[in-house]
């Protein structure tokens, strides 16, 4: 089922999780087992990231997504990036997804690696979305896009970035998932401005429960998310007590989600980091609020 239909049918906030595939064959079984434990929480769908680990890892994106869909019986979304794919390669990947029964993709440009020249068939995610929509054999595949409550790091400003997000919708994306953020006010401002820009598709808020100081430093470097004082105090207090930091990170995420639900958010997308403890504990805290 297309994710857009889940949004239409459910009539309340859609809950989704994100997992990442193994980088090597040796990691496949342990990630499949983590996914099985995460699937017990019965989210509306689970998405699987794509890209950083080369061709083998990208085959694992398909295989993990197929496992979610066919064995766990939960709707799956496979991510796909165009920075490292030609048009022909995108069609090959899509055929692989379709053969595996996967009906949803998150269409992304991908991050540009300064050491690897990008392939040039597509400049932006919206170009890939238009290209896919030219092929009627993929009409059964639902397409989602990414968006950035604090603006994408390459954009001049939030308004320019939102107008670029609008291009993804015009090209055929049916819903959006946000980059992680730790201050809900950025999300509310983004949502208001997106509406003014004519973006009327569901927007899921991407929430990452923090599990370690290194993780947060890496994420902030990559995506430039702001860290509110309340969040910094939490990290500073628990950075040397790993178990306490995980629980504090989950509590912070639950607090963010409670506020988002009160504001009528369309969807909550949890970056699980393949950690069943995080997924289960968070759902036990917010499950009844959805
Ligand atoms: P684009 O939409 O192409 O945007 C990139 C920049 O170009 C922005 O500054 C935008 O304002 C601008 N722009 C966009 N369209 C146009 C246009 N038509 N004309 C001019 N300027 C334009 N990365 C991975 O490698 N694998 C993953 O699995 C993955 N999953 C992700 C999941 C989510 C929910 C999110 C939010 C991000 C994910 N990423 C992933 C990261 C993503 O690839 C990067 O953020 C990347 O830098 C931008 O991707 P995009 O699809 O938003 O690009």
Residue-level pLDDT at 72: 98
Residue-level pLDDT at 220: 87
- Arithmetic mean of pLDDT, 275-290: 97
Cβ(288)–Cβ(34) below 8 Å: no
- Arithmetic mean of pLDDT, 45-68: 88
Cβ of 144 closer than 6 Å to ligand 1, yes or no, is: no
Cβ of 274 closer than 6 Å to ligand 1, yes or no, is: no
- Cα of 209 from ligand 1 centre, angstroms: 22
Residue-level pLDDT at 108: 97
Residue-level pLDDT at 229: 96
Cβ of 146 closer than 6 Å to ligand 1, yes or no, is: yes
User: Can 18 be counted among the known catalytic residues?
Assistant: yes
- pTM assigned to the model: 0.98
**Digit-coded pLDDT (tens) for 131-155:** 999 999 999 999 999 999 999 999 9
The answer on pLDDT for 58 being more than 90 is: no
The answer on pLDDT for 55 being more than 60 is: yes
How many domains, in total, are found in the chain? 1
Q: Which helix (DSSP H) or strand (DSSP E) does residue 34 occupy?
A: helix 28-39
The answer on pLDDT for 110 being more than 90 is: yes
Helix, coil or strand: residue 108 = strand
Averaged pLDDT score across all residues of the chain? 96
Q: What is the CATH number of the domain that holds 182?
A: 3.20.20.220
Domain span at 61: 3-289
- For 192-232, the DSSP string reads HHHHHTT--S-EEEEE-----HHHHHHHHHHH-----HHHH
């Amino acid at each position: 089922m297309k994710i857009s239909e889940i949004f239409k049918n459910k009539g309340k906030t859609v809950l989704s999780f994100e997992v990442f595939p193994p980088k090597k064959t040796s990691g496949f079984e342990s990630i499949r087992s983590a996914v099985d434990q995460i699937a017990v929480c019965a989210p509306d769908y689970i998405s699987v990231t794509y890209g950083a680990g080369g061709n083998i890892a990208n085959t694992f994106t398909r295989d993990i997504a197929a496992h979610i869909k066919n064995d766990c019986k939960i709707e799956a979304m496979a991510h796909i990036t165009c920075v490292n794919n030609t048009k022909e390669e995108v069609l090959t990947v899509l055929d692989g997804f379709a053969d595996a029964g996967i009906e949803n993709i998150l269409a992304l440009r991908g991050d540009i690696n300064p050491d690897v020249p990008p392939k040039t068939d597509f400049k932006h995610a919206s170009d890939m979305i238009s290209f896919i929509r030219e092929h009627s054999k993929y009409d059964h595949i639902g397409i989602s896009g990414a968006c950035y409550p604090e603006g994408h790091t390459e954009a001049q400003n939030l308004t320019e970035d939102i107008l670029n997000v609008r291009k993804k919708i015009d090209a055929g994306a049916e819903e959006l998932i946000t980059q992680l953020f730790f201050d809900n006010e950025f999300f509310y401002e983004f949502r208001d401005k997106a509406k003014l820009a004519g973006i009327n598709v569901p927007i899921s808020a991407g929430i990452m429960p923090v599990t370690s100081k290194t993780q947060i430093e890496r994420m902030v470097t990559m995506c430039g998310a702001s860290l509110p004082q309340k969040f910094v105090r939490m990290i500073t207090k628990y950075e040397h007590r790993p178990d306490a930091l995980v629980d504090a990170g989950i509590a912070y995420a639950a607090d963010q989600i409670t506020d988002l639900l009160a504001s009528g958010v369309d969807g909550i997308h949890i970056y699980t980091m393949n950690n069943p403890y995080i997924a289960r504990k968070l759902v036990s805290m917010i499950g009844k609020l959805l």
